[in-house]
Amino acid sequence: MTALTIAFLLSFFAGAASAVGGLLSFFMKKENFSALAIGLGFSAGVMLYVSFMEILPHAKTTLSGL
């Protein structure tokens, strides 16, 4: 796998986690704010983790050659 493919897949999975959190908020009853907070917090955490720990170092090394 190339570095571009890995970066694309990691971005895709981070976006999918955000979509799952969004779907949880859409289908949950309005009275259940704790489950809503947990789902959205989880999806935000996954997005931040993937962005800072996986994609950013690869982007930094790739762009340093420009």
* Residue 47 placed within a domain: yes
* Residue 17 placed within a domain: yes
pTM of model > 0.75: no
Q: Provide the number of structural domains found in the chain.
A: 1
Per-residue pLDDT of 5-62, as tens digits, reads 988 998 898 888 878 877 877 776 666 778 778 878 888 888 888 888 888 888 888 8
User: What is the residue range of 45's domain?
Assistant: 3-61
pLDDT value for 3: 85
pLDDT value for 29: 64
* Residue 41 placed within a domain: yes
pLDDT value for 30: 66
Sign of CA dihedral 48, 54, 55, 60: positive
Q: Are 39 and 13 in contact (CB under 8 A)?
A: no
* Residue 66 placed within a domain: no
* Residue 48 placed within a domain: yes
* Residue 11 placed within a domain: yes
pLDDT value for 46: 83
* Residue 31 placed within a domain: yes
